[in-house]
Amino acid sequence: MTLEKRLTARLLQIAALLLAFFMIDQISKWIILEQVMVPARVIPVTSFFNLTLGFNTGVSFGFFKDTLAEWPGVLAAVKATMIIGLVIWAALTNSRVERIGLAMIAGGALGNAIDRWRQGAVTDFLDFHWANWHWPTFNMADVVIVGGALLIFLAAVLPAPVAETTPSASAPTEGPRQS
């Protein structure tokens, strides 16, 4: 396979995965906004998990929300640049696990960037807690971003699979054994 065909195949794989993870995020947010949280409320699911509607105008865990609230497009533009970088990295890596992880991160980042561009904030709704301590509310984009980071970590620390090779036509072959 030529380099051009290999890159094209990789880009198609990356685009399909990125789109799938983006759609998981956007569909889950649509269901929460349009079906589940009408009206907005806290829905206890288990003793440690609630569905709670929130809007994050900052970055991770709400950091810099006051600074970025007036310029939601700035963070969306930064994320768009990062997504392009992730796709290029994914196209160039030889590790399938790393490529999938990068596509997951890019798809999740795209989902959050679209939220920020469309409504000025990211929709969050997954609320895990222990007693009165609550982890910051998050969404499916965040889940796939963390999953993608985990895959990249695993690709970095686990040995790469040995590629199966086929003997070339010019390689000598062993004849039948004689006893």
How far the first Cα of the chain sits from its last, in Å, is: 43
Is-contact 72 57, C-beta < 8 A? yes
- DSSP secondary structure letters along 53-80: EEEE-SSGGGTTHHHHTT-HHHHHHHHH
Q: Which of 25, 115, 124, 127 is catalytic?
A: 124
152: phi then psi, degrees, rounded to nearest 5 = -65, -40
Q: Is residue 26 part of a domain?
A: yes
Q: Which of 25, 115, 127, 142 is catalytic?
A: 142
pLDDT of 46 above 80: yes
Domain count, the chain: 1
Q: What is the percent of the chain where pLDDT is above 90?
A: 67
Summarize the confidence of residues 69-93 as an average pLDDT.
84
**Containing structural domain, residue 140:** 3-157
With cut-offs at 50, 70 and 90, classify the pLDDT of residue 117. confident
Q: Is residue 165 part of a domain?
A: no
Q: Is residue 178 part of a domain?
A: no
Specify the pLDDT at position 58. 73
Q: Is residue 74 part of a domain?
A: yes
Return contacts of 72-75, CB within 8 angstroms, 24+ apart.
72/116, 72/117, 72/120, 72/121, 73/117, 75/113, 75/116
Q: Does 142 participate in catalysis according to the annotation? A: yes
Q: Is residue 171 part of a domain?
A: no
Specify the pLDDT at position 63. 61
pLDDT of 47 above 70: yes
Q: Which of 9-23, 96-110, 160-174 has the lowest mean pLDDT?
A: 160-174
Q: Is residue 170 part of a domain?
A: no
Q: Is residue 167 part of a domain?
A: no
Q: Is residue 176 part of a domain?
A: no
108: number of CA atoms within 13 Å, CB side? Answer: 20
pTM, full prediction: 0.82
Helix or strand (DSSP H, E) at 124: strand 122-130
Q: Does 124 participate in catalysis according to the annotation? A: yes
Specify the pLDDT at position 149. 98
Q: How far is CA 119 from the centre of its chain?
A: 21
Residue 23 pairs with which residues in a beta bridge? none
